[in-house]
Amino acid sequence: MKSEMLARSVNTNVVVIRRLMSQLKKAGLIDVRSGIGGATLLLPPKKITLLDVYQAVVPKPSACPFYLHRSPNSKCFVGRNIHDTLEMPFAKVNQAMRDSLATTTIADIAAFIQTRVASVIA
C-alpha cells in the first residue's frame, strides 16, 4: 500500500506516514519499494507484535508513559517529591502496557478489522 493511501486512511500528512515507515523499515518489520511505492511486511503478521511496532516508532521510550512537569517547585514539599513518588506506579503502568502490546499481533488487528467489515456488509 502506498504512503499516500495510508495517510488518507488515518487522516494525517503523508510525511508522517513516510517517517513511520522509515522507522519500521529500519527495525526490519517492513520493506518499502521506492518508485512503484508501497510497503510489505517482512515477517508473517502473527510474528509482529504491537510491542515490536511501538519499539520501532518510539526507539527511546521514557520509563514514564505520561507527561510529568520537568521542573516542579523544589520549595514545595509535594513538588520536590512528586517525581520520586510517581516513579514506581508509572513504571508498573509502563510494564503493563508493554505486556499487553506484546500479546497483540498484526494478525490480531487484521482479524478484528476483517470481522468489523464482515459485520457491516452482512
How does pLDDT run along the chain (122 residues), one tens digit per residue?
678 888 999 999 999 999 999 999 999 999 998 777 778 999 999 999 999 999 999 877 766 666 677 788 999 999 999 888 988 888 888 889 999 999 999 999 999 999 999 888 87
pTM of the model: 0.80
Return the SS3 of 31.
strand
pLDDT of residue 88: 86
What CA dihedral angle connects 91, 107, 112 and 25, to 10 degrees? Answer: 70
pLDDT of residue 120: 86
Radius of gyration of the chain (CA): 19
Locate cell 494478525: which residue? 107
pLDDT of residue 104: 97
pLDDT of residue 22: 93
Residue 21, number of CB atoms within 10 A of its CB? 19
